[in-house]
Structure 1
Amino acid sequence: MGNTSAVSCLNDGAEGVHLNKYLTARQLELVQDTWDIMKTDLPTLGLTVFLKLFQTEPDLKRLFPKIVQMNDKNELEWEVDRDMLQRHAVTVMEGLGAAVESLDDSDFLNSVLVSIGQTHVKRHVKPAMLKRLWPSLNHGFQTMLGEVYTKETMEAWRRLYTYISSQMKRGMNDPDAKLSCDDVGTT
């Protein structure tokens, strides 16, 4: 399963965590197999996830000022620019897909996820908000996969999302750290 030493890619020497401590080989296989099904329709998956997120976590719509319209009282409206939302949702799903396709290289995956966490700080996303996306992702996966989305598969995806969130939080907690993977193998 990829590299055996934990590497951080952050100059602060923070210890990297490897995916094989979060998911079994079987869980990795379930994630990859179901991603192969879902990646064929990223626009539908992404819209399903984000519309559910806006429905269940309406306060998070403030994080999307270009997508969610404000009224003249500066209050959020339900009016959503679906084209912009779909573009954003596809970008997020493509990022998830890149993570799934990098599951065999925890060092690379960690560096990418830390960097994504750092960029989310600029968008006013707080680490505690990450867990609020899981129910909407879970809903999207269930909608796309139907009967294929078993309890075992759901648990594999939940564990992967926990891993992704933990790495993003590392970046969010140190948004100004310079990424340097030149030191791979030295931390």
Structure 2
Amino acid sequence: MGNTPAVSCLTDGGDVGSLNKYLTARQLQLVQDTWDVMKQDLPALGLTVFLKLFQTEPDLKRLFPKIVQMNEKNELEWEVDKDMLQRHAVTVMEGLGAAVESLEDSDFLNSVLVSIGQTHVKRNVKPQMLRRLWPSLNHGFSEMLGEQYTKETMEAWRRLYNYISCQMKRGMQDPEGKLLDDAETT
């Protein structure tokens, strides 16, 4: 998990928009097959992921002021509104599912992921924060899949998450969509 080297975004001459540069056909199939299992209980998956995130990255709780309760000293409490957290977590997992179901259409997938990145800028999410979600996702996937979550499957999901992060970073770096608009007109 922690010893796996990060996959860098393809930016220097690489095709940042092509998912098949990131994942093999086998990896795509592993992701789709395991998603079919995990999507059966998105509330459990989402809650597992976000509770782990709050446990391992407590400073990120500040990004969720409606979910994480503040005390009278205006300090974050450990207690969270689990119902609201679960609703948010399901929304995030549904977004992940939409990405998995759009793996065959890189252009559509990229536009959605860039847009998600743009909206996260408004929530004060920084590009470097995206990588901090992976260990919690990895934990949630492992919990949901058990023995089915092999090293090969984990690597496929890690590479997909890196791809998703790269596309979201593009949106975060261009929150108004100006660079994309300029690229389309040239």
1:110 and 1:177 mapped to 2: Cα distance?
A: 13
Rounded Cα–Cα distance in structure 2 between residues aligned with 1:102 and 1:119? 20
Q: Match for residue 3 of structure 1?
A: none
Percent sequence identity over aligned pairs: 85
**Structure 2 residues not aligned, in runs of 5+:** 1-14
Q: What is the alpha-carbon distance in structure 2 between the residues aligned to residue 177 and residue 132 of structure 1?
A: 25
What do residues 14-68 of structure 1 show as CA deviations (whole Å, max 9, x unaligned)? x752100000000000000000000000000000000000000000000000000
The aligned amino acid for 1:133 is L
The structure showing larger relative contact order (alpha-carbon pairs under 8 Å, at least 6 residues apart) is 1
Give the whole-Å Cα distance in 2 for the aligned partners of 1:126 and 1:30.
30
User: Aligned in 2, Cα 1:179/1:85: closer, same or farther, shift over 3 Å?
Assistant: farther
Residue matched to 1:141: 141
Paired letter, 2:103: L
Residue in structure 2 matched with residue 5 of structure 1 by the alignment: none
Point out 4+ residue stretches in structure 1 off by more than 6 angstroms.
Answer: none
Q: TM-score, normalised by structure 2?
A: 0.88
Amino acid at match of 2:156: A
CA distance in 2, matches of 1:60, 1:22: 28
Partner of 2:115: 115
Tell me how far apart the structure 1 counterparts of residues 102 and 180 of structure 2 sit (CA, whole Å).
18
Alignment of 1:53 onto 2:56? no
Which residue is 1:132 aligned to? 132
Secondary structure in structure 1 of the residue aligned to 2:78: strand
2:84 aligned with 1:68: no
Q: Aligned residue for 1:102?
A: 102
> What TM-score do you get using the length of structure 1 for normalisation?
0.88
* Residue 155 (1) aligns with residue 155 (2): yes
What is the CA distance between 1:79 and its match in structure 2? 1.2
Distance in 2 (CA, whole Å) between partners of 1:36 and 1:111 is: 23
Counterpart in the other structure of 2:79: 79
Cα 1:46–1:179 shift into 2, 3 Å: farther
1:178 to partner: Cα distance: 5.5
The alignment partner of 2:125 has SS state of: coil
The count of residues paired between Structure 1 and Structure 2 equals: 171
* Structure 1: 5+ residue stretches without partners: 1-14
Deviation (angstroms), 1:180: 7.3
Match of 1:177 in 2: 177
Q: Secondary structure at the match of 1:77?
A: strand
DSSP-derived class of the 2:85 partner: helix
Partner of 2:6: none
User: Does structure 2 retain, via aligned residues, the 8 Å contact 1:134–1:161?
Assistant: yes
Q: Secondary structure at the match of 2:66?
A: coil
